[in-house]
Structure 1
Amino acid sequence: MSAGILFAALAERAPDEVVLQGVTKTWCAAELRLEIEDLAGRLAGTRVLAVLADNGPAWAIADLAALRAGAVHLPLPGFFSQPQLAHALEQSAADTLLTDQPARIAELDLGFVSSGEWNGLTWMQRSLSAVFLPAGTAKISFTSGSTGAPRGVCLSAAGLMATARALVNRLADLPICTHLAVLPLSLLLENCAGIYAPLLRAARICLPDLSSLGWHGMAAFTPAALQRAVCAAAADSLILVPELLKAWTIFLATTQQRAPSGLSYVAVGGARVSPDLLFQAREWGLPVYEGYGLTECGSVVSLNRPGDDGINVGRPLDHLAVRIDDGEIRVEGRGFLGYVGDRSTGQAGIIAPVREFATGDLGRFGADGHLHLSGRRKNVLITSWGRNIAPEWVESILLAQPAIAQAVVTGDGKPWLSAVLVASPGVDRASLEAAVQRANNALPDYTRIGRWLAAAPFSTTNGLATGNGRPIRSAILSHHAAELAALYREREAADVVS
């Protein structure tokens, strides 16, 4: 299955049928086809096209044109820090870039030179040698950053199309004619399930800019704006992360409003979802269903749907083989080709090999064939915004501050991170607060410390450190569990009041 199925689906639509709906312009099928072909022609000779831009039709057209031209697409999340952007661009050796943030790119000093504009985006290019990419790579998806230098996942067009087609088949009977893209398009979930799948089912795709949907960076959100946007678009479907679902549900309950009646399906994924939250959301009219996926598995592995729902992450999609090995979920499919520059994972000359991926997630299958998650094998935190964060990375930034002697970060399933900090000798609370602020300034907004508590030193004497002084994470979090829980309650209470 190749990207040709997208263009075949587009060719079957009436010339004047609206396909992409932006804030100031709509794109009908005929016009969209011409624009894709024109841009694909301009991309001739491009190896890797990077796109750093807000949501909108231009982003979607650039993505489709890269597929048409056979160029590799590197979506760059706007919430990446400058070092993360530089890392992704350097690792992928992107030679062409489209952006609405040219100043950020210029600041990186990576050799990009502006050479014109296209649909409101600055066209930038540079000359450099290519890097190794597995054969058949169509997209490089750098994760949100479980470490300071996230790995670039190389994905095949065949695998992405298989995911999109499986999603269409799973939801084929639902009346979905209009999809509203709420998540950043740079996230593979919205890219695959919010662009490719709607195109295959001949749906209209609404692509407003993120600020009009209520986004304020990746750490704050205004649900009233989302309610207005869903009503204005007459949306039938959308995708949320748990934190957005929570904010919208609280807004509906507080204002005694109900979700727009036209909504048919709201998928929620990216992090664990509380069953209570799903129940509350449905009480206010949100037809929300939980799913599960990973970048390496083409973004979606399983999902619930009307008539086949449960307190779990649903039934695996038909194009994947999912099994449990020693409690760990393993997924076999054709999407994952390897990592950027890693010849041990890529296979030269073999396009879209069948590959089994060890997810690192623990789970089991229920009697009904639904997948149940039970935790993660390692320490990676997944916030309720759906961001993957290795606590060791954030801790290293905190420990770079002289005022902080020891640090343990937590926040799995929470909207923001908290920390247990040990001050250096002679450091008072005000100095510790200043140190945290300096560390936060060096971190992307989704990894910043929201609140923290000061603690006595971790040592072998109190059982909170090993013999070589390494903090024992589980013991520390258990020891301070009540205080950490109080931090979240206090912050949530303060947010409600404000």
Structure 2
Amino acid sequence: MAAQWPALSAGRSERVLTAQGAVGDLALLARVERLAGLLDSLGLQRIASRLDNGVEWLVLDLAIRHLGGAHVPLPTFFSDEQVAHALASSAAQAMLVAEGAGARPGTRSLAPLLAGTGLSGWALEHAELALPAGTACVTYTSGTTGRPKGVCLDAPALMTVAGSLVEASARIAPQRHLCLMPLSTLLENVAGLYATLLADAQIALPSLAEIGYTGASGLDVPSLLRCLHRYQPQSVILVPQLLLALVMAAEQGAPLPSSLRYLAVGGGRVGPGLLARAQALGLPVFEGYGLTECASVVCLNRPDAARTGSVGQPLPHAQVDIDDGEILVHGVKALGYLGGETLAPGPIRTGDLGHIDEAGFVHVTGRRKNVFITAFGRNVSPEWVESELLSHPALAQAVVWGEAQADNVAVLWPRRPDLDAAAIARALAEVNAGLPDYARVARFVRADAPFSAADGLMTANGRPRREAILARYQAQVDAAYRNPLNVPATGVSPCASTTP
């Protein structure tokens, strides 16, 4: 049975925490009801937004839920072309942005009508487009191209997953959650906002700049640490790169808040080396797994049921099976895609490879479509190799490839731009020492700049768009295979350090 939309209890005087102060239930409820009335008077039911993290995002989302409308949240890092595609494909009636952002030329401004809400925006010319009945949210998958696919989800799906997450964390019952991911990301939307409200806990909503994000992919770690200490959260959601940043900071002596009790990590494979380093620091890290088509989280390690190296057992609303090595998920399911594309009957075929152990823990080993076969006939899942590379302190981003080749190449970006080729090569050799010969990286191409969502090379959750990256650096990859190996033969102890 799906949980109901979270109602504000009117009992917390500090429900939402921001740099500007706290907002209690009564004030929040009043803002939601006022905005819902304004949107209703304007006849708006399908509303796109492009907002920074903050109270305005939450108020707008709850107001749209109150109306029974559909929210189309767009990441702030979307390019103009991606925004145009999303608005056209969703047939949104209006685009709402932060107050003061202005309106686009040639459109009808809604700013005067939204005065005092912290929002501005403009009406949109839109085609008549029927969404699947009951659509409450249109969220865009990460995809592998510059044109993300819109997924339609209904309220019961979203709230069922949120309710499962509350149940999964009941043993700890975090009382303050800090949103570190953009709220336009379905994972933070469902697990950070809805689950926290259902649990009657506090939500800390700093802006992305306060968290330390710079541009589409940069992260200022000192700002992130200040944010954690300021809000003293008990729970946060991290992508692997954020977890690595915290682990490296702690290893270098930076104190982390003692309040942390539940660090959920997902959005990409987490290398066992990184998990071991986090555990050595005493960080309460719990890896999970989910898909947009399943309304986010499917499996999660939890305090009373955790196994390192797995993504946890399925949540109560989901059932996981394996068919020919591929993970299948039964249970909560999206209504369909924009454009009329439907989901096939039966379980969702995830395209992810994995297995389920004797205790019911799910292990994800890679993507079926990403597996490449070397010239010696060995199947290699690049996610496995990449997770090992990114556990090294010298390496920040990497994509590995070796289809029909005698050895493998990595397109990568170092953690410090001043690291030279020799230091990068030593780092790769150290990682290779812990890998079987067929999975080792023998050549590398240094990227011109960090992979980012803005340039179409990363997803919203921080995963590499490997096809786009390999296409961007195809000439350099080809040249690397014409030139001698640029990674020394393995023989270096995997415990040796290459940090300059």
- Equivalent position to 1:51, from 34, 37, 49: 49
Q: CA offset at residue 104 of structure 1?
A: 9.0
The reply to whether residue 260 of structure 1 matches residue 257 of structure 2 is yes
The reply to whether residue 76 of structure 1 matches residue 74 of structure 2 is yes
Q: Give TM-score, length-normalised by structure 2.
A: 0.75
Partner of 1:375: 366
Partner of 1:289: 286
Partner of 1:466: none
Q: CA offset at residue 82 of structure 1?
A: 1.2
Aligned mates of 1:5, 1:36 — CA distance in 2:
13
Amino acid at match of 1:307: D
| Cα distance change, pair 309–258 in 1 and its aligned pair in 2 (3 A) | farther
| Cα distance change, pair 63–23 in 1 and its aligned pair in 2 (3 A) | same
Amino acid at match of 2:280: E
The answer to which of 337-346 and 44-53 deviates more is: 337-346
- CA deviation profile, 1:329-367 (whole Å, cap 9, x unmatched): 111223411001215449xxxxxxx85211110111011
Match of 2:57, SS state, is: helix
Q: CA offset at residue 410 of structure 1?
A: 6.5
| Cα distance change, pair 55–2 in 1 and its aligned pair in 2 (3 A) | same
| Cα distance change, pair 127–84 in 1 and its aligned pair in 2 (3 A) | closer
Amino acid at match of 1:176: P
8 A contact 1:237–1:263 mirrored in 2:
yes
Aligned mates of 1:53, 1:322 — CA distance in 2:
35
Q: CA offset at residue 5 of structure 1?
A: 3.6
Aligned mates of 1:46, 1:342 — CA distance in 2:
22
Partner of 2:322: 324
Aligned mates of 1:33, 1:183 — CA distance in 2:
24
Aligned mates of 1:335, 1:79 — CA distance in 2:
27
8 A contact 2:45–2:93 mirrored in 1:
yes
Amino acid at match of 2:347: E
Aligned mates of 1:267, 1:259 — CA distance in 2:
16
| Cα distance change, pair 175–121 in 1 and its aligned pair in 2 (3 A) | same
| Cα distance change, pair 180–441 in 1 and its aligned pair in 2 (3 A) | closer
Amino acid at match of 2:259: G
Aligned mates of 1:174, 1:440 — CA distance in 2:
35
Partner of 1:206: 204
Aligned mates of 2:32, 2:483 — CA distance in 1:
55
Q: Over the residues paired in the alignment, what is the CA RMSD in angstroms?
A: 3.8
Identity fraction in percent: 39
- Equivalent position to 2:26, from 19, 27, 30: 30
Aligned mates of 1:277, 1:124 — CA distance in 2:
45
Q: Give TM-score, length-normalised by structure 1.
A: 0.75
8 A contact 1:224–1:248 mirrored in 2:
no
Partner of 2:38: 42
Partner of 1:443: 455
Partner of 1:301: 298
Amino acid at match of 2:365: S
Match of 2:304, SS state, is: coil
* Alignment length (residue pairs): 420
The reply to whether residue 356 of structure 1 matches residue 347 of structure 2 is yes
| Cα distance change, pair 3–252 in 1 and its aligned pair in 2 (3 A) | same
Partner of 1:130: 128
| Cα distance change, pair 453–187 in 1 and its aligned pair in 2 (3 A) | same
Aligned mates of 2:484, 2:311 — CA distance in 1:
27
The answer to which of 87-96 and 444-453 deviates more is: 444-453
Amino acid at match of 2:134: G
Partner of 2:184: 186
Amino acid at match of 2:14: V
Q: Structure 1 unaligned runs (5+)?
A: 347-353, 392-407, 417-432, 459-475, 487-494
Partner of 2:433: none
- CA deviation profile, 1:3-47 (whole Å, cap 9, x unmatched): 74412xx23x41x53111122142211111121112122222213
8 A contact 1:332–1:355 mirrored in 2:
yes
Aligned mates of 1:481, 1:57 — CA distance in 2:
55
